[in-house]
Amino acid sequence: MLVDYQDYLDEINALNDYIRLAIAIVLIALALFVAKYALIRPWWRFVTSTEADWDDYLHRPLANRTYALILAIGSQWLAIRWILGTSSSTYETSEPLFAAFYVILSASILSVSIKHLIPVLMDQFSAQGSVTVSGSNSIIVFFLRTVVWFAGLYFALNQLGIELFGILASLAVFSLIIGLAVQQTLGNIVNSFLLAIDRPFEVGDRIEVEGTWGSVVSVGILSTKVLDRDERLVVIPNNTLVQSKVTNHARGGGDGVARRISIVLDVGVDYREDIDHVKYTLLQLAKECPYVIEKPEPRILLHELADFAKIFRVYTWVEDYSDEYVARDWLLRNIDERFGRENINIPFPTSVELSDSVYEQAEVTKQRTAKRKMVQERKKLDESRLNARAEIEDINEKLKDPDLSKKDRTALEERQRELNTLLSQFDRDGN
C-alpha cells in the first residue's frame, strides 16, 4: 500500500508545472471551503448563541485572518515548495517574506483580541456605579496594541534583514524638525489620549462647549465631531476641548447611567387650589408617562408663591435623553387635559375675568377639529418613530451576518444612517 502511495506521488510530481499549479489552486480552494463550513460557520453559530457580544465582534476579524493564513500556507507549500522546489531562487527569496507575513498576521490576531477582550476584563474589575465610556478604547488597550504592533514590526523586519532601531535612529533628527512644524497637530493627538484617560463624555452624549450644543458623533485623533440641533456638523479640535469648559447634559446621576436625563417643569395654579390636590394630580401624571422611569421616582415640590400663581416644580427622569422632547410634550399635554378634568385652574396674569361666552361656537368647532387632527398626526409620528427604531434593531442583527455581501452591507449601513437622522429630527422637533 505504501509503494502504491509513493507511485501516485511520483506520477503527480512528474506532471507539467501548469497542471501541478492547477492542482495546487484546487487544493487551496478546497481548504478554504472546508475551513468555512467545518470551522467558521459552526464557530459563528456558537458565538451567536451566547449572551456575550465580544465574541460576536471578534468572530469576523479572526475568520478573515484564518482565510489569510490558509492562503499563505497553501501558496508557500504548494505553489512554491512543491512546484518550484526548495533549491530555486524564488523559494530562497520568498521564505523571508512568508516568515515576515506570519509574524505580522500573529501580531494582528493578538491586537484584535486585545481590542475586544481587554474592555471585557476591565469591566469585571470596575465598580458597577462608575461611569464608563464605550465610544473609545482605553489608554491601556491602546498601549498594549501599540506594544504588540511594534514588536510584530520589529521581528518581521528582522526576518527581512532590516534593523528597525537603526532606521529610527536615522530618522530622529528629521522627526524633530517635523514635530516642530506640526506642533499644533501633535497637541491635538496628545490631547486625544488625555480625553481617553479623563473620559468626560462618550460618543452619543449631548455636550456643550463654548456655545456649541449637540450630540457627539465621533471622537477622532485630531478632533471631536458634534452634530448640533440644526443638523450641522461642528468639528472641535481636541486642544479646544481640553482647554475649555465642557458641559455634559447626558451624564445622568451618581449611579453612572450615562444617557439618563432629568426633565424639570414649572406649573402654576390658582391660589384657591388645594396644594395636596395639585401635587397628587401631577405625581400621578408623572408616573403614567411612558417615558418616565421609576427610579429615581418623580417628585413634586411647591417651588414658589408668585404674584399670580402657586408654582409647582415637577422633577422626572427619562431613560434616554433622545426622548426628552417627546416626554416633555406628553407631560405638558396631559397636564393641561387632566387639570381641565380635575377643575384645577391655571391663572392668567391679568385682573380681567374671561368666560366661555367670549368664544363663538364656530371657533370651538375649529378647535375640536384641529385637536382631533393633531392627535391623529401625533399617532402617525409616534408610529413612525417606533418603526424606525425597530428597523434599526433589525439592521443591527443583519449586519452581524458574516456572509453578508459588501454591497448589501453598504446599503444597510446607509439605511441605518437615514433612520438615525430621522430619529434626530424627531428629537429636535419634539415629535
Which of these, 67, 72, 70, 82, lies nearest to 21 by C-alpha position?
82
Per-residue pLDDT of the chain (431 residues; tens, 9 = 90+): 444 555 555 566 555 666 777 777 888 888 888 888 888 888 888 888 887 777 778 888 888 888 888 888 877 776 666 665 555 566 567 777 878 888 888 888 888 888 878 777 766 654 443 334 344 445 677 778 888 888 888 888 888 777 766 666 655 555 666 655 566 777 777 777 777 777 788 777 788 888 888 888 888 778 888 888 777 888 888 888 888 888 887 654 444 455 677 889 999 999 989 999 999 999 999 999 999 988 888 999 999 998 889 999 999 988 877 788 899 999 999 999 999 898 999 887 655 555 555 445 555 666 677 677 777 777 877 788 788 888 888 888 888 777 777 788 888 888 887 877 777 666 655 54
pLDDT score, position 339: 92
Please give the Cα distance from 12 to 6 (Å, whole number): 10
pLDDT score, position 332: 93
pLDDT score, position 256: 47
All three cell numbers of 9, joined, read 506521488
Please give the Cα distance from 346 to 357 (Å, whole number): 19
Which of these, 55, 195, 194, 192, lies nearest to 112 by C-alpha position?
55
Give 234-269 as a DSSP string: EEEEHHHHHHS-EEETT-BTTTTBTT-EEEEEEEEE
